[in-house]
Amino acid sequence: MFLFLLACAAREPVLPTPPPALVVPPPSIDRGTQWVHGSDAHKAVLATIYQDAAEELAERAQALAPETAWAVVSDVDETLVDNSGYQLETFGNFTPETWAVWEEQGKAVAYPGSVELVAQVHELGGKMAFVTNRANHPATLALLQAQGLWMEGDVLCTRTESSDKSARRASVLEGGSLCGWPEMPVQVLGYWGDQMGDFPSADEASSAPAEDWGETWFMLPNPMYGSWAE
Least CB distance to Mg ion at residue 41 (A) = 20
Q: Cα–Cα distances in Å, from 118 out to 68, 121, 148, 178?
A: 19, 5, 9, 23
Pick from 42, 54, 77, 108: which binds Mg ion (CB under 5 A)?
Answer: 77
Pick from 78, 82, 103, 154: which binds Mg ion (CB under 5 A)?
Answer: 78
Judged by CB under 5 A, the number of residues near Mg ion is 4
Range in contact with Mg ion (rule: CB under 5 A) among 36-44, 61-69, 77-85, 143-151: 77-85
Contact code string over 177-196 relative to Mg ion, x by CB under 5 A: -----------------x--
Q: Does 154 bind Mg ion (CB under 5 A)?
A: no
Q: Which residues pair with 73 in a beta bridge?
A: 129, 191
Taking CB positions, which residue lies at the least distance from Mg ion? Answer: 77
Q: Which is nearer to Mg ion, 58 or 135 (CB)?
A: 135
Pick from 75, 82, 103, 154: which binds Mg ion (CB under 5 A)?
Answer: 75
Q: Which is nearer to Mg ion, 77 or 103 (CB)?
A: 77
Q: Which is nearer to Mg ion, 176 or 197 (CB)?
A: 197
Given the rule CB under 5 A, which residues bind Mg ion? Answer: 75, 77-78, 194
